Homo-oligomer: A and B are copies of this chain.
Amino acid sequence: MKHFTSVHDVDDMNLLAASALQYKQSPFMDKSLGLHKRVGLLFMNPSMRTRISTQIAASNLGMEAIVFNVDKDGWKLELEDGAVMDGSTVEHLKDAAPVLGMYFDILCVRTFPGLTDRDEDYSEVLISKLKEYTSVPVVSLESSTLHPLQSFADMLTIKETFQETRRPKIVLTWAPHIKPIPQCVANSFAQWMNKWDDVDLVITHPEGYELATDYSKGAVIEYDRAKAFEGADYIYVKNWSSYGSYGQVLCTDNKWMPTLEDLKTTNNARLMHCLPLRRNVELSDEVLDSPYSIVTRQAGNRVWAAQAVLADILKTL
């Protein structure tokens, strides 16, 4: 593939997953694939797992990764065409992007949505302009609306833990948070699971938290969480702010925080979360510290997801 900014960039998700799981077995099998290649990791927003896992993935492939914290390292980029830059931005993406494209063979970028202007957020201006202004491959490290490296790692985690031949029932459940959170992880997980032929997705949330249908279509929406949980093989817990009442927190009811009791009707479901999470707000200690939780394995798989993606792109260079 050329870019990796959503599941639609992936030709064959099962093949890509197989490659990732091979890297998990033999991290250094393609150590020379990235020789003399460089990947730039641009962060508009903080990151721990994404940054470290991508650095490790690059290094496993023999590539050099250089991190640039755009805001923190003192650079505020302008994105608007025609802007008279007499304010706080010091450089236009239109000028920075082509230069970065000369320095790097692959550009990875993380940004978050503002959560105030839905059209702006959902136009994914940074990712799309980065593609426009530079000729090198662009990889999303989480964008305004999606987090494909996370979802791919989620898919890997399900693939390697589900040994039966039937289709697993996967439930994405909204959980409470103290502040408005992007829809990225939920959108992206729904998008990946819906495209994946081998699984069934149910999404459960309070009314008003419907995801954009672009991502949720194909999934069953079930407002009754108890019903959604019945017989579930995987419970993916995640908060997001409202898409309809854009960026708003409509519910703070902590009954939406799953308990061990709630998990009893599941099929011994494995519990997932992308991390970071606020303990005893989104998820309780009792659930996280129980054998249900596979969140550490899930975060560990971030390395192999990133490695398979970078390797696939490297092969096209």
Give me the interface of A with B, judged by CB distance under 8 Å: 27-28, 36, 38, 40, 45-49, 51-53, 55-56, 59, 64, 66, 68-69, 72-75, 78, 81-86, 89-92, 94-96, 98-100, 102-103, 178, 275-281, 285, 288-289, 295-296, 299-300, 303
Contacts and interface: CB of A to CB of B under 8 A. Distances in A.
A278 B28 contact: no
A111 B256 CA distance: 36
Contacts of A49: 99
B91 A275 contact: yes
Contacts of A279: 78, 83-85, 92, 94-95
B66 A103 contact: no
Nearest to A38: B56
Contacts of A47: 73-74
Contacts of A299: 99, 102
B280 A95 contact: no
B45 A74 contact: yes
A150 to B, nearest CB: 13
A64 B66 CA distance: 12
Given A85-B281, A95-B279, A73 B56 contact: no
Given A90-B278, A91-B275, A48 B73 contact: yes
Contacts of A100: 52
Contacts of A95: 275-277, 279, 288, 295-296
B276 A96 contact: yes
Specify which of A38, A89, A103, A300 lies most central, judged by the most chain B CB atoms within 10 Å of its CB: A103
